[in-house]
């Protein structure tokens, strides 16, 4: 079983979960957030952004802080950037921790997640949950965002299988946000995927795709971080169908996954699971390694 104790990261009080391979730091006094992710005692893979804030209508601000967070789409400042500055309720469960946030106002949505670290492997199960505690239906999609330190290479795979038996139907969607420069030297598109170099000095870019393969990856200093979700064929995804997305600016690269859009009635809930893995060089999954090699990137 993974060890759980109190600790600090960046001077912030946290719950720490660790085994022989992986350590996680989860915020105690706000959030919930995963603020730290370290493989065998190496540096924190997650970004630390203590001064990054987003304006909220009404004069408040949302503190990005860094690390991993749970939002819900579509992205609107008045419903997405709701501050999470209060301590979450925390419960110890078998092989993990459950974090329950106060109900968002005015949406009535309550966020929670159950996080479990494998006893002897570098694998994390993160079950996100959104509950409508309000009195009216609310249309949303679960949206899990992991903020990583810049300097590496993000990878978003593209579908290779044909969509019909004759190979006549389109099988890939390339989705770009309006601030994305398609001629950016930080964006590389090959047949197997889109790669984002997190070495930007200015501006930002964001790309996405409908991703039946379910995984998205980031490589840095020989380590490969992969997170995976289930892609539900036939369901409606927001952002023009982009179930998986990469955002990048000079300070951070984000790996983002969405669940299908759903209208939650009062008392109803929806779950969105991510599975995280961290691999050292020499242990990368073969299918992912081949894409990096095809793009002439292997040790970023």
pLDDT digits (tens, 9 = 90+) for 213-245: 999 999 999 999 999 999 999 999 999 999 999
Per-residue pLDDT of the chain (300 residues; tens, 9 = 90+): 689 999 999 999 999 999 999 999 999 999 999 999 999 999 999 999 999 999 988 888 999 999 999 999 999 999 999 999 999 999 998 879 999 999 999 999 999 999 999 999 999 999 999 999 999 999 999 999 999 999 999 999 999 888 889 999 999 999 999 999 999 999 999 999 999 999 999 999 999 999 999 999 999 999 999 999 999 999 999 999 999 999 999 999 999 999 999 999 999 999 999 999 999 999 999 999 999 999 987 554
Our CA dihedral for 133, 137, 141, 146, rounded to 10 degrees, sits at -30
Q: CA geometry: angle at 35 spanning 46 and 219, to 5°? A: 15
For residue 101, the SS3 value is coil
> What φ, ψ does residue 156 adopt, rounded to 5°?
-115, 110
> What φ, ψ does residue 13 adopt, rounded to 5°?
-65, 135
Domain boundaries, the chain: 71-294
Q: Which residues, including other chains, have CB under 8 Å from residue 259's CB and lie 6 or more apart?
A: 141, 142, 143, 229, 232, 270, 272
Per CATH, the number for 71-294 is: 2.70.98
Surface-to-core class of residue 148, CB atoms within 10 Å of its CB (0-12 exposed, 13-18 middle, 19+ buried) = buried
Surface-to-core class of residue 275, CB atoms within 10 Å of its CB (0-12 exposed, 13-18 middle, 19+ buried) = middle
pLDDT digits (tens, 9 = 90+) for 52-72: 999 988 888 999 999 999 999
d(CA 116, CA 96): 4
The partner residues of 129 in beta bridges, in order of sequence, read 112, 271
| pLDDT value of position 299 | 54
């Amino acid at each position: 079983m993974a060890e759980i104790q109190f600790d600090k990261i960046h001077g912030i009080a946290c719950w720490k979960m660790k085994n022989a391979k992986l350590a996680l730091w989860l915020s105690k006094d706000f959030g919930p957030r995963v603020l730290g992710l370290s493989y065998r005692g190496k540096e924190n893979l997650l970004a630390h952004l203590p001064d990054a804030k987003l304006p909220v209508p009404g004069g408040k601000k949302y503190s990005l802080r860094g690390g991993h967070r749970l939002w819900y789409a579509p992205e609107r400042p008045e419903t997405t950037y709701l501050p999470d500055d209060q301590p979450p309720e925390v419960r110890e469960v078998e092989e993990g921790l459950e974090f329950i946030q106060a109900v968002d106002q005015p949406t009535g949505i309550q966020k929670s997640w159950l996080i479990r670290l494998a006893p002897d492997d570098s694998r994390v199960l993160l079950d996100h949950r959104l509950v409508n505690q309000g009195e009216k239906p609310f249309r949303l999609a679960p949206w899990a965002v992991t903020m990583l330190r810049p300097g590496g290479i993000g990878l978003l795979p593209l579908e290779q299988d044909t969509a019909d038996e004759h190979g006549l139907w389109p099988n890939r969607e390339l989705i770009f946000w309006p601030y994305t420069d398609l001629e950016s030297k930080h964006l590389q598109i090959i047949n197997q995927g889109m790669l984002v170099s997190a070495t930007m000095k200015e501006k930002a870019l964001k790309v996405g795709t409908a991703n039946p393969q379910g995984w998205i990856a980031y490589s840095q200093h020989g380590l490969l971080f992969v997170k995976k979700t289930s892609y539900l064929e036939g369901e409606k995804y927001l952002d023009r169908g982009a179930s998986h997305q990469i955002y990048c600016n000079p300070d951070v690269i984000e790996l983002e996954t969405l669940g299908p859009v759903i209208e939650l009635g009062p008392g109803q809930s929806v779950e969105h699971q991510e599975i995280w893995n961290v691999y050292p060089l020499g242990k990368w999954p073969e299918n992912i390694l081949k894409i990096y090699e095809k793009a002439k990137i292997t040790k970023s």
